[in-house]
Amino acid sequence: MRFLKRLFLEFRVAAWAYFTATLVIVLGLAVFSFFGLVYSNLNYFTQKVAQELVLNVYLSPRITSKEVKKITSEIKKEPLVAEVRFLPPEEVLKDLERLFEEKELLSGISPDFLPPVLVVSFKDPFRAGKSLKELSLRLEGLPGVFKVQFAQSWLARLANLRRFLEIISLWGLFLVGLTTCFIIGLVVRFSLSQRKEELEVLSLVGATPGFIQGPILVIAVLQGAVASFLALLLVYIVKIYLDRALLDFFPGFQGGLVFWNASQITILISGVVFLCVLGSYWASRRYLRY
Amino acid sequence: MEDILTLERVSKVYEPNITALDEVSFSVKRGEFLFITGPSGAGKSTLLNLIFRAEKPTSGEIYFEGRPLSSLKKKEVPFFRRKIGFVFQDFKLLENRSVFENVAISLEIQGIGEDEIRRRVLKILERLGLSGKETQPVRQLSGGEKQRVALARAIVNRPKLLLADEPTGNLDSRRTEEVMEIFEDLNAEGTTIILATHDEALYAERHRRVLVLDQGRLLNP
């Protein structure tokens, strides 16, 4: 009870300093988590696009269902394969009709003219990319396989794009993170430097470091938790706005940007709380006179 | 009577080469009322700061109740300071806190119960003519009132030794006399007092021991 009273008193005497410090931390952190969000989404988006790029195994027109099953189970042995889908010639024709806006191009083409296809998608297309050539050569050697085709060049371009985004975003995230750490340290130190004399007086009248720093550190925990919560809330609001604003911006994008998951949020909040406590501890320690 | 405080060849040199105190030695008996005087810059405040362990001597040793202060561990310093009351020249009050809170802090840090704190603080404020100002923030007080709050904070803890650095510097002659009366009363109750002042009128006709400092040296050890 007495500690709570001291906590309240501690907050009351420096409420403005704590408020502005928290606000600065919120803004710094919001920029950091926004960059994090951009990185996660670019990463997620390229992954999704890559998953659209599939391996097409064109089969002989007169292939039996037994042979199809054999080839399918052979493909499924590959650990990177996520799904193998069989498209009979009728389905292939429908796909082509969906692809070509000029319907006349397909007039007169009967399903018998088209080969059945096995459409292979991968769990992690970027990882699979390296072994795709080898796999396609192996599949081409199987009886009943007419031709194997995949968008290797597109996958390579996407992989490069992803690597580029990864380098840029991660370095940006690192720099913004570093700046945020610096801002948190500086703000906490500055807010306590305004109370230098008070901390000095308390140590001179015989207060122990625990007595003086106890409420300051508890407030630092609250400050870190509140600041990270508000920053995440702010970024979440931005995410909701972007979900709506970017709808139909890209083909296939139905809204729903990815947000930090529970463990990432826990790490972020813990990290900020830790930084605030560490900053407050070191800053207040400087002003104690023992 | 036994010595409560002993200084043995205590020197304090500040960087780069400013000697604030030069081999000062003296003892203070328990229950004594000692004046330290000298012109500004003589080393009076430095001497009190060293006794209070707000600073450490460059050389020499200070003994409080027989224990050398150099043997105090950092964690022991707060507990040592609770035995000593200090009226600072610049008050060192918590400006944004009330008169009551400023005085009560000396007791709160020792974990004394709220009722006891209230009783003792109100009693001391009444004694120093500060009744009715309990809830007033210190920043709104006059220099003389601040001086008395600082004195109240220093003595509410019933210290064994009371150090006062120019405690009447901001007071008019009437308040000065009142504060000196309080010091006399505290001394009569058994508190050892060391009072640093440059004002000769404070110790004249009081028949107390007076140590004279000049340029860091004790002229009458």
Identify the band that residue A115 occupies on the pLDDT scale cut at 50, 70 and 90: confident
C-alpha torsion B202→B207→B208→B209, nearest 10: 110
Specify the 3-state DSSP secondary structure of A22. helix
Identify the band that residue B136 occupies on the pLDDT scale cut at 50, 70 and 90: very high
Answer whether A205 sits within 8 Å of B77, measured CB to CB: no
- Cβ atoms of B135 and B99 within 8 Å: the answer is yes
B77 touching A (Cβ < 8 Å): yes
Higher per-residue pLDDT: B181 or B194: B194
Interface pTM (ipTM) of the complex?
Answer: 0.84
| pLDDT (average), residues A142-153 | 80
pLDDT digits (tens, 9 = 90+) for B73-90: 999 999 999 999 999 988
pLDDT value of position B133: 95
**What is the percent of chain A with per-residue pLDDT over 70, rounded to a whole number?**
95
Q: Is the whole model's pTM more than 0.80, yes or no?
A: no
pLDDT value of position A152: 65
Question: What's the start-to-end Cα distance of chain A, in Å?
Answer: 28
- Cβ atoms of B211 and B34 within 8 Å: the answer is yes
Question: Quick check: A191 pLDDT over 90?
Answer: no
Question: Quick check: A220 pLDDT over 70?
Answer: yes
Answer whether B110 sits within 8 Å of A206, measured CB to CB: yes
Domain residue extents for chain B:
1-83+160-221, 95-158
Q: How far is A185 from A182, CA to CA, in rounded Å?
A: 5
Provide the shortest C-alpha distance from residue A217 to chain B (in Å).
17
pLDDT value of position A253: 64
Q: How far is A133 from B93, CA to CA, in rounded Å?
A: 79
Provide the shortest C-alpha distance from residue A274 to chain B (in Å).
25
Average pLDDT, chain A: 83
pLDDT digits (tens, 9 = 90+) for A246-270: 877 766 566 688 898 899 999 989 9
Q: How far is A151 from A85, CA to CA, in rounded Å?
A: 17
| pLDDT (average), residues A53-76 | 85
Average pLDDT, chain B: 92
User: Which CATH architecture best describes the domain B1-83+160-221?
Assistant: 3-Layer(aba) Sandwich (3.40)
In order, the DSSP letters of B33-75 are: EEEEE-STTSSHHHHHHHHHTSS--SEEEEEETTEEGGG--GG
| pLDDT (average), residues B184-207 | 91
Question: Quick check: A48 pLDDT over 70?
Answer: yes
Answer whether B106 sits within 8 Å of A206, measured CB to CB: yes
Answer whether B106 sits within 8 Å of A197, measured CB to CB: no
